[in-house]
Amino acid sequence: MTGHVTGQTQENKRLRSVVKGVGSALPRRCVTNRELEKEVETSDEWIVQRTGITQRYIAGEGETTSTLGAAAARAALAKANLAPEDIDLIICATSTPDYTFPSVATMIQAELGVTGGVAFDLQAVCAGFVFAVATADKFLTSGSHKRALVIGAETFSRIMDWSDRTTCVLFGDGAGALVLEAQEGTGANADRGVLTSHLRSDGRHRAKLYVDGGPSTTGTAGHLRMEGKEVFRFAVGHVTDVMTDSFAATGLTADDLDWFVPHQANQRIIDASAQKLHIAPHKVVKTVQSHGNTSAASIPLALAVACEDGRIKPGDLVMIEAIGGGFAWGAALIRW
Per DSSP, 157 falls in state G
Confirm whether 263 is a catalytic residue.
yes
Q: Whole-number minimum distance, CB 40 to ligand UT7, in Å?
A: 7
- Cis amide linkage into residue 120, ω under 30° from 0: no
Please tell me whether residue 231 binds ligand UT7 under the rule CB under 6 A. Answer: yes
* Catalytic, out of 92, 126, 168, 307: 126
- Using CB atoms within 10 Å of the CB of residue 330, give its burial: 0 to 12 exposed, 13 to 18 middle, 19+ buried: buried
Contact 297, 317 (CB under 8 A): no
Please tell me whether residue 120 binds ligand UT7 under the rule CB under 6 A. Answer: no
Please tell me whether residue 54 binds ligand UT7 under the rule CB under 6 A. Answer: no
| Closer residue to ligand UT7 (CB): 6 or 42 | 42
- How many of the other CB atoms lie within 10 Å of CB of 271? 17
| Closer residue to ligand UT7 (CB): 74 or 263 | 263
* Catalytic, out of 145, 189, 293, 307: 293
Altogether, the residues listed in the chain come to a count of 336
Please give the order of strands across the beta sheet that includes 259-262.
193-201, 328-335, 317-324, 259-262
* Catalytic, out of 145, 198, 223, 263: 263
Q: Which of 76, 112, 269, 279 binds ligand UT7 (CB under 6 A)?
A: 269
* Count of residues that interact with ligand UT7, criterion CB under 6 A: 20
Q: Whole-number minimum distance, CB 27 to ligand UT7, in Å?
A: 19
Q: Which of 228, 238, 244, 276 binds ligand UT7 (CB under 6 A)?
A: 228
Q: Which of 66, 196, 266, 267 binds ligand UT7 (CB under 6 A)?
A: 266
Contact 95, 298 (CB under 8 A): no
Q: Which DSSP string corresponds to 83-129?
A: -GGG--EEEEE-SS-SSSSS-HHHHHHHHHT--SSEEEEE--GGGHH
Please tell me whether residue 296 binds ligand UT7 under the rule CB under 6 A. Answer: no
The stretch among 43-51, 102-110, 113-121, 180-188 that binds ligand UT7 (CB under 6 A) is 43-51
